[in-house]
Amino acid sequence: MSPIPLRRARKSRVVARAAAAMAVAIGLAACSSAAPATQERTGIILGRAMDVTTLDISRSLCDTCQIYNAAVYESLLHATPEGELEPLLAEKWEANADNTQFTFTLRADAVFSDGSPVEAKDVVWSWERLKNLAGSPSYFMAGITKVEAPDARTVVATSELPNSAFFNIVSAGYTGIINSDVAAENGATADANAASSDQAEQWFLSNSAGSGQYVLDSYAEGSQLVLKANDKYWGEKPNFTDVTIKEVTDSSAQLQQLQQGDIDVAMQLSFDALGQIENAPNLTTEVVPSPNFVYIALSPGKAGGEALQDPRVREAVRKAIDYTSVIDATVAGNGEKQATGVPNGFEGTEGLPLPEYDPEGAKALLAEAGHGGGLTLQAVFPTFTIYGVNFATMMQSIQQSLGGVGIQLDLQPLEYQAWADRLGEGIPVTAVYFAPDHPDSIQYFQYFGLIEGSVWAERAGVPVNPQQQQLAVAALSQTGAERTASYTELAKLMYNDAIILPVVNPQYLLASSADVTGNNLDITRNLDLTRIKFNAG
């Protein structure tokens, strides 16, 4: 070893200078994280993974859109948490005897954010545009042949077939009313060829034209959506001066940011996070039931699903899923089993049998169907986490329990878009979720049942069942107990089809900072901004 040179201290001048610079830099960083938030708490920050692909209400269909649409626009009716309808822009509504004509009377004092009154012509324009754009939410207007405005405060909608669910349907935020004059000036149109001639989608990314409590302030894709209070709002004053929906892509990031106070509400926490925050004094958590569910869908009529054409095989799949384990693995046990594609508690679900894990029964059924030696199925599913359920985790868990009865599941996760496209070709086994648009059970039968126009009858490649078709048509001309009976009958038939196998009806974890009250999960609004607020003081 050579002796240490004496001039060593002086030689390191450059090094020392640069080191000092680094120290300053690191010091700065330390300061920054210690700096407290100083603003007054009149604005709320919600953390969630935004699934927004458009802010045009008549083209949108997503969970975040539900919040945005309800905050910025208003529908004619509003569904209470109990599923009852109450007035919003309409103060009176009635249907004719055979449920084909619906008359709404608008309230006189409602105004848009530019101060102009909400009139019947706006409703006609908005609903026609919704239908003619042929966009994601156009199905809300399915079967509506005519919308008219006999006078400035009266709207009459006519349906081709009886549709007793129409009032429930128009409580969905997607049917909200747009300021037609303003939107038309900016390229929007409600004409029959709106699908190709409407030019307003981009305008809606930076502007809103509604009568709701808030107006769009700014939207930066992938970063945040900012709403500010509509100072011309005609009704009760909004609870916040501004609402920021911040893009926080996953549960663990939301948890960090909630703990650090960077967000006030974490909207998509997984239940594995619950243990971390349950006892934190500065946070509030509550577990509530949800109307959402995650299901496995079988497509007997599509390539690769041939084995599933035997109902015994489908029944065997239902029996082979170890529900307790899956619910434990995905939502840490905070979920319920569900009979068929209608969530627990909705009209028509009373008395339905819940699926049971019965591997022996499943094996027997498989043997009976000639698959005693085992069976291989391809499962293609989207790679996301929704309502706390990580699909990759869920599918791996299901793969294990199906493996136990000799059904080998080949897993292929795809990004959402690629998966959605693959759905058209048909996927033997897939996993999907459903959240209601409005409080009426008809949406489930029209989506899952073997009836005309049903999304899943088509995807599964299964012919329409005349009995279900007849029941669905009948139900829409009925009301009250009669309709409930039809719905129940339909739900039973759907259960027997074993096309849609709900895996879990997850509960929902409401998590916010402790000074927030009224945090909620709303059927039509996802998060109802009129109910959530900061504690006074």
Partner 1 sequence: MIRFVAKRLALMPLLLWGIVTIAFLLSHAVADNPLASIVGERNLGNPDIVRAATERWGLDKSLPEQYFLYIANLLQGDMGTSFRTKAPVGSDLADRLPATLELAAMALVFAIVIGTLLGVLAARMRGRIVDSVVRVLALLGSSLPVFWVGLIFLFIFYASLGVAAGPGRLSARVIPPPDATGFYTVDALLAGDWPLFVDAFGHLLMPALIMSLALLGTVIRIVRSQMLEEQGSDYARTARAKGMTRGQVLNRHVLRNAITPVITIVGVSVGLLIMGAVLIETIFSWNGIGTYAVESSRALDFPAITGVCLVGGCIFLVANLVTDIAYAVVDPRVRLS
Partner 2 sequence: MTLAAAPTGTPAVGPDGPGGTPPGASVPVRLRLRRFRTPSIVLGAAVVALWVLVIAFAGVIAPYDPYAVAGPRLSPPSGEFLLGTDTLGRDVLSRVLHGARLSLPIALATISIAALVGCVIGAVAGFYGGIVDSVLMRLADITMAFPSILLAMAVAAALGPGLTNSFLAIVVVWWPIYARLIRGQILSIKEREYVMSARAIGMSRLTTLRKHVLPHAMTPVLVSATMDLGMIIILVASLSFLGLGALPPSPEWGAMITEGSANFYQWWIAAGPGLAMVTIVLAVNFLGDSLRDVLNVRTRVR
CB of 58 to partner 1, least distance (A): 13
Q: Is 10 left (phi over 0), alpha (psi -120 to 50) or beta?
A: alpha
Q: Which is nearer to partner 1, 246 or 483 (CB)?
A: 246
Nearer of residues 300 and 355 to partner 1, judged by Cβ: 300
Distance CA 342, CA 291 (A): 9
Minimum CB separation of residue 299 from partner 2 in Å reads 19
CA gap 299, 308 in Å, rounded: 7
At CA 233, angle to CA 231 and CA 235, rounded to 5? 140
Q: Which does 395 bind (CB under 5 to 8 A by kind): partner 1, partner 2, none?
A: partner 2
Q: Are 264 and 242 in contact (CB under 8 A)?
A: no
Residue numbers at the binding site for partner 1 (CB under 8 A):
5, 7, 10-11, 13-15, 18-19, 21-22, 25-26, 28-33, 35, 37, 39, 43, 45, 53-54, 61, 134-136, 138-139, 195-196, 201-202, 205, 220-223, 246-249, 253, 256-257, 259-263, 415-424, 455, 458-459
Residue 424 C-beta: closest distance to partner 2, Å: 16
What are the DSSP calls for 481-517, one per residue? HHHHHHHHHHHHHHHHHTSEEEEEEE-EEEEEETTEE
Q: Give every CB contact of residue 363 below 8 A, 6+ residues apart in sequence.
A: 316, 372, 405, 406
For residue 458, the partner it binds in partner 1, partner 2, none, with Cβ less than 5 to 8 A by kind, is partner 1
Q: Which is nearer to partner 1, 343 or 406 (CB)?
A: 343
- For the CB of residue 402, give the shortest distance to partner 2 in the complex, in Å: 13
Q: Among residues 53 and 399, whose Cβ is nearest to partner 2?
A: 399
C-beta of 196 vs 279, nearer to partner 1: 196
Dihedral sign, CA of 44, 50, 53, 57? negative
Separation of alpha carbons 344 and 268, rounded Å = 21
- The minimum distance between CB 383 and partner 1, in angstroms, equals 9
- The least CB distance from residue 322 to partner 2, in Å, is 10
Q: In the complex with partner 1, which residue's Cβ is closer, 255 or 510?
A: 255
Judge contact between 509 and 333, C-beta under 8 A.
no
- Using an 8 Å Cβ cutoff, are 406 and 344 in contact? no
**Interacting partner of 135 out of partner 1, partner 2, none (Cβ under 5 to 8 A depending on kind):** partner 1
- β strands within 299-404, DSSP E: 335-336, 375-382, 385-386, 389-390
Question: Distance between CA 189 and CA 97 in Å, rounded?
Answer: 33
CB under 5 to 8 A by kind: which of partner 2, partner 1, none does 134 bind? partner 1
Closest CB to partner 2 among residues 89, 296: 296
User: Which backbone phi and psi does 169 adopt, to 5 degrees?
Assistant: -60, -40
Residues in contact with partner 2 by the rule CB under 8 A? 250-253, 255-256, 270, 272-273, 276, 325, 328-329, 383, 385, 390, 392-393, 395-397, 399-400, 411-415, 418
Please state the closest distance from residue 310 (CB atom) to partner 1, in A.
25
